[in-house]
Amino acid sequence: MKLKGLLAVLAVSLAAVTGTPAHATAISVGDGWHPFDFGGVGSSWSDDFSFTLSAPAYLKVTDAFLSGDRFDVTGLGLTSIPTSVGDSIGGDADGAYNDPAGRWSHRLWYLAAGVYDITGTVIVSPFGSGTGYAQLVATSAVPLPAALPLFGAALAGFGAIGRRLRRRQATA
């Protein structure tokens, strides 16, 4: 009987320390920005983002509304350091992510094909709560096997031009 009571107390204590479990949201490449809410420093995002990638993709994360918040994306790293605090952009995630002055914290991560469950923790929150956004976008890089022959052809072309110039200089 004592063991059951101890386990119950541990379960309640663990729930109090970790807070409410985050809601898992399935996202896909190209389906736009997905909001997540957060509390003060040390709080977790209100949503986990789960997805399976059959090909590489990029994960974009940005703060929005009032500038100044910063995140630790679990297993991936930190978003950028915002350059100002208190600027307002509303829910314009594209505007916040692409802000040339860097006022809103953001970051882009390359993800290989695989299964992911992404969440984050707030490490800076001047206003005690807010909303951020996450999005998956397709990669558009030229695959390495296709790029190597192009690179080789370019080097050969430069070599041929160099030989031709040296011949002209020798005959001049």
Where residue 58 falls among pLDDT bands split at 50, 70, 90?
very high
Report residue 35: phi and psi, to 5°: -75, 155
Among the ranges given (89-98, 109-118, 140-149, 150-159), the one the predictor scored with the smallest mean pLDDT:
140-149
pLDDT score recorded for residue 133: 98
DSSP state of 5: H
Q: Which two tokens stand for residue 27?
A: 């996202």
pLDDT score recorded for residue 13: 39
- Structural domains of the chain, with CATH: 22-141 (2.60.120)
Q: Which of 24, 19, 9 is nearest to 122 (CA)?
A: 19
pLDDT score recorded for residue 19: 42
pLDDT surpasses 90 at 125: yes
pLDDT surpasses 50 at 6: no
pLDDT score recorded for residue 119: 96
Q: What is the spatial distance between Cα 15 and Cα 73, in angstroms, rounded to a whole number? A: 22
Q: Which of residues 166 and 28 earns the better pLDDT score?
A: 28
- Say if pTM beats, i.e. exceeds, 0.85: no
Q: What is the spatial distance between Cα 36 and Cα 93, in angstroms, rounded to a whole number? A: 12
pLDDT score recorded for residue 12: 37
Q: Which of residues 93 and 2 earns the better pLDDT score?
A: 93
Percent of the chain exceeding pLDDT 90 equals 67
- In order, the DSSP letters of 129-165 are -EEEEEEEEE--PPPHHHHHHHHHHHHHHHHHHHHHH
pLDDT digits over 64-111, tens only? 999 999 999 999 999 999 999 999 999 999 999 999 999 999 999 999
* pLDDT, averaged across the chain: 84
pLDDT score recorded for residue 23: 73
